Amino acid sequence: MQFNLETLLQHNNIVGQTLLAGYTENTMKLNREERIELKNNQREELKSLWDAGIPGLVLSKEEIDKLRDEFHSWAIHFQLHLIKEGSKKLLHDYEKLIYSIENSTCEHDGKINKGKDWQNCCGIYYEYLNDISCRTAIEIIIKTISINENNEFIANVEKFDRRFKAVPKRQKWIVSDNAIEKYQKKNYWWYFGLPLTVLE
Ligand SMILES: [Zn+2]
């Protein structure tokens, strides 16, 4: 079954909204014309940056084009993040999420949130659903790249997956009923199971 993020975004509006949240926050102070200009500039920037591929990965021209297509429907700020900071940052985001779940803790602006404070911040269902999209991005990449040329990246993903699978979870889908029919548990296992510590 082919995974289609666009379908996920349509069926699960929360993900779409939160993927855009960071972008909206930074652009709220701009007026409409300025926002349009910023978006156009970012699109131009995206175009040229994608040609260089994703830092940290060995990619052919065809693989770059395929990934560009696959991530086309993702938020611009996410794509810029990916093609500027590369696979290391994506792995870092994934590990950071796992650490956050394992320890019920997060850090913003030098302030550490734990337990209930964490649940009121990153440890709540919709934030978790947004953060876990980094694993979906990783999956899109894994399905496209050459395994032999990128074995370090793959090995790191597998290492983090083992850690993340060990986290105790409520046995349920965390995407909407419509979306559930589109995925297979064995392929998109991170959408099945909500960590026990995450607030519903
Ligand atoms: Zn937080």
56 domain-assigned = no
Low-confidence stretches of the chain (pLDDT beneath 50)? 1-24
* 2 CA from centroid of ligand 1 (Å): 32
Cα 33 to middle of ligand 1, angstroms: 32
Give me the number of domains the chain comprises: 1
> Which residue is listed with tokens 């040609």?
51
Give the separation between CA 184 and CA 2, rounded to whole angstroms: 10
For residue 104, report the distance from its CA to the centre of ligand 1, in Å: 10
Cα 78 to middle of ligand 1, angstroms: 18
Does 44 map to a domain? no
Distance from Cα 63 to the centre of ligand 1, integer Å: 34
Answer yes or no: is 112 within a domain.
yes
pTM attached to this predicted model: 0.81
Domain hosting 105: range is 86-195
Distance CA 171, CA 175 (A): 12
Q: From the CA of 105, how far away is ligand 1's center (Å)?
A: 7
Main-chain phi, psi angles of 146, to 5 degrees: -75, 125
pLDDT score, position 179: 73
114 Cα–ligand 1 center, Å: 9
Element (H, E) at 82: helix 76-103
User: Is the Cβ–Cβ distance between 15 and 9 less than 8 Å?
Assistant: yes
Ligand 1 centre to CA of 144 (Å) is: 32
Residue 170 domain-assigned? yes
Q: What distance in angstroms lies between residue 118's CA and the mean position of ligand 1's atoms?
A: 6
Flag whether 73 is in a domain.
no
Ramachandran region of residue 136, left (φ > 0), alpha (ψ -120 to 50) or beta? Answer: alpha
At 144, list the tokens.
């496209």
Q: What is the pLDDT of residue 7?
A: 42
pLDDT at 184: 66
**Which two tokens mark 107?**
């850090």
Residue 106: predicted pLDDT: 97
Question: What is the CA angle 150-90-64, rounded to 5?
Answer: 55
Question: From ligand 1's centre to the CA of 109, what distance in Å?
Answer: 10
Residue 15: inside a domain, yes or no? no
74 lies in some domain: no
Distance in Å, CA 127 to ligand 1 centroid: 9
Is 81 a member of any domain?
no
CA distance readout (Å), 63 to 80, 88, 91:
18, 18, 19
d(CA 11, ligand 1 centre) in Å: 25
Ligand 1 centroid distance, CA of 175 (Å): 21
